[in-house]
Structure 1
Amino acid sequence: MSEHGRALGGWDRGGRAPQEPGGTVWRLRSRACWQEAAELLRPAAEHDPTVALEMAELLIEQCMFTAAHWQQAEQALRLAEAGVATAEQRAAASCARGFLAYVASVLGPRDRLDEAQAALGRTSALLPPDAPGRPLLDFRRGLVAENLLRDPTAAWIAYRRAHDGARAHGDELLTSYTWRHLAALALAGGDTSRAREGFAASLELREQLGFTVGVAPALAALAEVSEPAEAARLRAEAARLVQALGGVPVWLARQLSAVPAPGAPPDGRIGQEAGDAIS
């Protein structure tokens, strides 16, 4: 999905200062202020395809947490796609296109599986095996395999590659996502101990990075493998965070019954399953 503040979307873009944890864009993004963060990037995005890709990833992430704002993400991605000039930029834009189609399939009004698979396939063709964008691509292919194709074995293989690659590149936020999804597969397979390890590691990384909007889903996931008293404490803490952020993630808000969840898609597919598919 996305990674830590060094580079939105998991691509090594030379350590742009606004994306560093503690930078303005990162602080806004981590506090669910995607619109404000995008506005800071917009002037440069008009003429810099790298920044345009960063803005598109930011707004796709907003869709993931809000199940809304699809048109803004689409417009930002089209701007990025129109400006790409290098193979790396084309790969990044295609990876973002595949992810937007995936998120829309899980949280939006229609199935875009074919689009997601085609875009991620193009990304793979454009990237050399050791490219910095490979771990993110592998992770997103794992999401499609697990939640759209219902193939947990293929998902585990993709997540494992993504996990190893993210750790090798020092990509701590992506690592928090790979821990989370490997743990969920372990839990589905009955390995509670490994699931607890993964959920705890994911939470720890997000807290260390200050990725506030991602902490509540990590708390709720850890609650699933905790003793009843501890689980209640974790869910209460998650509910407080969701409420403080204005009801995002919307699917977790509904699950926890913490606050109303505006922006639910017409088919109402927001809840435990949707949260597991994207958080």
Structure 2
Amino acid sequence: MSGDGTTADDDPLQTAVWRLRSRACWADAVALLPTDTPRATLQRAALLVERCLYTERGWEAAEDALRTAEARAHSDEERGAAACERGRLAYTSTLHRVRDRADEARAALGRAAALIPPGAPGRALLDFRRGLLAENLTHSPQAARAAYRRAHAGATAQSDPLLLSCTWRHLAQLALREGELAEARHGFAESLRLREDLGYLIGTAPALVSLAETEPEPEATRLREEAGRLFRLLGGLPTWLAEHLSPPAPGAATA
């Protein structure tokens, strides 16, 4: 989804959608979009799928919007983008243990890969989502790292700062698990910087918590407290962040 409101050339509609999206107002963002074009229909579906990730609700609305987007897709690019969102929804459902849809996620992302060639718009986002699948469902860190690196290169080439913040964060998480503290700290710090620059509030608290995992006290506590303030400001979103806001127990592993 384009239009993050950071340049003078951004479409005013997309800027308004971005600002609502970044503040966890997905339904309001969807209400601004037209319903008569495949691109807008797909964007509506993507916003509602994203809401599922952060709120763990709204599944039926996301499914309905996605089916509409799939029905209206005509080009390979549109069909590939719809399949990528289908994979994301199935992945999110599995991740949040709503329903195991891992096979559907793999099939949808595989279908998207067949429709979106390397270097095409949308390929970097697809590579990132394939990395998520490898990291969190298949538990294959090597495959995840390779996919994240492809996505990172694509996001850099396409000047996509939001996606770049995501690839920095997940590459850093893999580094942290391997004990590469300095590399992890750098990646988490870059992810946080990009999200703050963009004003991406819904994604800033998770970035703060991730960076706190690599920082000594009292900085770690300060970062978690800042994340907690944002978490409360956004009405307890993302839902899954609450358990990460407290400092680790004495002697507990942090990587």
Q: What TM-score comes out, normalization by structure 2 length?
A: 0.92
Q: How does 1:25-104 map to 2 (within 5 A)?
A: 25-41=17-33, 44-45=34-35, 47-104=36-93
Q: Distance in 1 between matches of 2:202 and 2:69?
A: 25
For each residue in 1:82-130, what CA deviation from the matched residue of structure 2 results, as whole angstroms up to 9, or x when unmatched?
1111111000000000010001100142211110010011111111221
Q: Distance in 1 between matches of 2:97 and 2:59?
A: 8
- 2:147 corresponds to: 158
C-alpha deviation, 1:16, in angstroms: 4.5
Q: Name the count of aligned residue pairs.
A: 244
Q: Distance in 2 between matches of 1:15 and 1:74?
A: 29
Q: Distance in 1 between matches of 2:85 and 2:42?
A: 8
Percent of counterpart pairs with the same letter? 56
Q: Distance in 2 between matches of 1:157 and 1:144?
A: 12
Q: Distance in 1 between matches of 2:186 and 2:245?
A: 23
Consecutive unaligned residues of structure 2, counting only runs of 5 or more, are: 247-254
Q: 2:87, 2:105 within 8 Å by CA — same for their partners in 1?
A: yes
SS at match of 1:216: helix
- 1:190 corresponds to: 179
C-alpha deviation, 1:207, in angstroms: 0.3
Taking only aligned residues, the RMSD between alpha carbons, in angstroms, comes to: 1.7
For each residue in 1:27-59, what CA deviation from the matched residue of structure 2 results, as whole angstroms up to 9, or x when unmatched?
111111111111111xx12x2110010011111
Q: 2:165, 2:192 within 8 Å by CA — same for their partners in 1?
A: yes
- 2:251 corresponds to: none
- 1:18 corresponds to: 13
Q: 2:209, 2:244 within 8 Å by CA — same for their partners in 1?
A: no
Q: Give the partner amino acid of 2:52.
A: C
SS at match of 1:131: coil
- 1:223 corresponds to: 212
C-alpha deviation, 1:184, in angstroms: 0.1
Q: 1:4, 1:174 within 8 Å by CA — same for their partners in 2?
A: no
Q: After the TM superposition, which of the residue ranges 246-255 and 89-98 deviates more from structure 2? A: 246-255
Q: Give the partner amino acid of 1:24.
A: A
Residue of structure 2 aligned with 1:200, choices 189, 198, 210: 189
Q: 1:139, 1:159 within 8 Å by CA — same for their partners in 2?
A: yes
Q: Give the partner amino acid of 1:18.
A: L
C-alpha deviation, 1:132, in angstroms: 1.2
- 1:120 corresponds to: 109
Q: Give the partner amino acid of 2:41.
A: A
SS at match of 1:149: coil
SS at match of 2:117: coil
Residue of structure 1 aligned with 2:162, choices 168, 173, 182: 173
Q: Which runs of structure 1 show a deviation greater than 4 angstroms over 4 or more consecutive aligned residues? A: none
Q: After the TM superposition, which of the residue ranges 214-223 and 107-116 deviates more from structure 2? A: 107-116
Q: Distance in 2 between matches of 1:164 and 1:240?
A: 33
Q: Give the partner amino acid of 1:221.
A: S
For each residue in 1:188-229, what CA deviation from the matched residue of structure 2 results, as whole angstroms up to 9, or x when unmatched?
011000000000000000000010111000000000000110
Q: Give the partner amino acid of 1:38.
A: V
Q: Distance in 1 between matches of 2:197 and 2:37?
A: 31
Q: Is 1:253 matched with 2:236? A: no
SS at match of 1:228: coil
Q: 2:4, 2:198 within 8 Å by CA — same for their partners in 1?
A: no
